Structure 1
Amino acid sequence: MKSSLIPEKPILVYPSLAATVGLDEAVMLSCLSDMVTNTPSKFANGFYWHSVRVDQLHKALPFWDLRDLQRVSTSLREKGVIFIASGPLLQEASFKFAFNEKQTSTTRHMPSHTEITPQEQAHIARQTNSTFSGKNFISANWKPDQVTLEQLGQLNIPSDFAFRQVPEFIAYWRERNEAHRSWGQKFISHTIQRWRNFEEQENRKNKATAMFSNWQPSQSCVDSMLQRGIARQFIFDQIQEFISFWQATGERHIAWESKFIQRVQSEWASQEARRNVSNQGFPIFNSWRPSEDAMEVMTVKSEIPLSFIEDSIAEFIIYWQEKGTESNTWNSLFIKHIRLQWHRYQHALDNSVDPQPISDNWLPSQDVFDILKLANIDQAFAKSLVPEFILYWKDRNEIHRSWNTRFLHHAKRTWAKQHQFVDPQNNQNTLRSTREISLEEELNDTSWAD
């Protein structure tokens, strides 16, 4: 019983023929042989010339488009299997060809054959006597041959690198729908260009440097931004955040000044856009808190502990109230403030893995004072807390890995409590005074425990 999965006549492919001329070529050759069986032909120069309509050939081989039909037929001609007496399939209605089997007109019985005109005779003679290798379209499964790979190897281009370029190479030329005589040479040029780009990128990586903590833009860099109308103070205000951001990423680059210019221009444009949208800002109020979206950006995306953020709200409010600034982007300012402080805080952590007791002459590191400075906490105030801090922890006789961390937390909380403010909604102090909170309560905060 005939299966419904085989609704049409199959194409017969001979394995030995496919191994000799290629699978695609064997498929087309078998199809052409079936199509011209019992059809009229013309005899000339010792060959029987056949003609099939291009649309019929495409219908017989529906899994190929016209480009593939042109490619495979040209391959059969280049391999000497057939002769072609018509133009490209994309431009002709009929495909005229002859099998490369030299014979006389009486060698074998044909259903019918007719004499050809002198013009056709001359064209056929050129086809059979010519050694010209025509252009061809690239196959969807094209691969570079061994000769191509050896030529690339002489240029010190690895084979695995060459093979990685094949999919892009095929997609590019099939999209362009162009035919060429030698795809191997085209591939060599393509791969050489990609290899040079690859080497250039590697060289740039080797010359790149990491961002360092005391990086500063050159005067010419600053001048170029001043010429664009960017305020000098605005430029220098961006330096510390720029350094902190790139140190956190750990990336290396060649042109840091170019990146700095891009960042400053972007920030300046954003600031100008905000000013154009609305010049009506408002002062920060005592009970201000960052929005839920801002908290999500800091805690989820930046992975900053909630306790660190909460401890920084009071100092942020105090600072901007003292400056008397009005703004409609307090959330953005707070996010920048927290990110910068968190980065500096992480760099200030002690590297020691062994807990140690506090020493009699212990002093906070310079990084601690830098972080406090970012929070606008006076250095003299911080230093005044050191004796009491040492005395308390010596009395407790405890050991910890990071005394810098504990002191930083203690100083920030003490500063915020001494600069207490009143909540206008309930007319009560939102923070208790230093006298109301013991030193033990201030310092014994488990959220900062190691």
Structure 2
Amino acid sequence: MGDYSIHFSANLARSHGLEQAIAFAVMQQFQAFRQNKNGWILISDDDWTSKLPFWTIETIHSSLNQLRVQGLIEIHQAGNTLNPKCLYRIVKKTSTSGLPIVNSIPPQASGNRNAIGTGNTTGNTNNTNLQQNPTFSRSGPMPEQWHPDPHVIQQLTRLGIPENFIQEAIPEFVTYWKESGKHAISWGAKFQERVRKLWMEHETKVASNKIPAPITKEWQPSQDARDILIRDGIDPEFIKDSVAEFLLYWMERGSAEITWNNKFVSHIRHQWQKFCSTIEHSTNPTRIPKNWQPSPECFDIARMAQIDVEFVKEQIKPFVLYWSDSNQTSTSWNTKFVQHLKWSWAKRHQLDNIGQSVSHEKGSAHHQSGHTANQSFIERHQDTSWADEL
């Protein structure tokens, strides 16, 4: 079979899963030339695998059963053991829930041998098989060595469920259904529903045992939170620089939260989006101009970070002087200035163990007043530790 494209709904993939969206799109292709007057479509396993050669038949069955559970399609068993097939019908939008799979032919199909029109004599032969074998079913008992397909585990992990949690649920699931002796069309779908329910119960229990608490100056985002943000394409240095402003903002408000990591992730995503949309990046690195001034967007970002406007203005001249004397180039002086602001603001408020590290240690204190004044003047004009990490 030649190469071809499958066009599926992005909205359906987001709301019901990628596999379900692809299977639904293929069913719509079959619907275009196989649907009978009552809306039923006769599709065999061979038909499915010819259209979806990159999936196993078990994966296809699981996706179809998920569509049924989600109320998007109806399924009726048909065919025989040598040529397994089903009757499918896409549920109209007015329907509110999926119908259960039944091991019988719907009246619309059984009452008319030509109800399933395929356009050739094969369609009539198939209908004969439908009437001779109305009780064929693909369902079966729980296998002895059952294990969920990789795509089932992948779908669960996309929901944020840890893989070790999924693996721990398998033995109990298998034991329960083996002892019950019941049959099922798709054990993968049943397992998926069971694990999702267990995870919701687990999260509810964990949340109920946690007590909201205010943030402390020692707080740092977890590595998981950092990894999530880095996977979103956010610069690790931007994440690191933003901890200080996050702490300052919430410490001043005294709010209590169960998990500060979630709030931090949301805050950084918002800040990064604002940062990327307002700061222009040049493709050619240049030296900083003598009369350089930060863009208005820098002041906007500073206000969002609760940095005093007067403090921002105070930082401009020493910033320009340092980088002008260093003869270094940059593609965005606005970016460096924003990073410098966050570091300097955190240093002024003396937030321990956050922000950028200071590489220059202060010398020992002197008791002479004249010497102290001179040292203060020298330190004020030679301390460039704020630029070390830029």
TM-score range, shorter chain: 0.3 to 0.5
Higher RCO (CA < 8 A, seq sep 6+): 2
- TM superposition score normalised by structure 1: 0.36
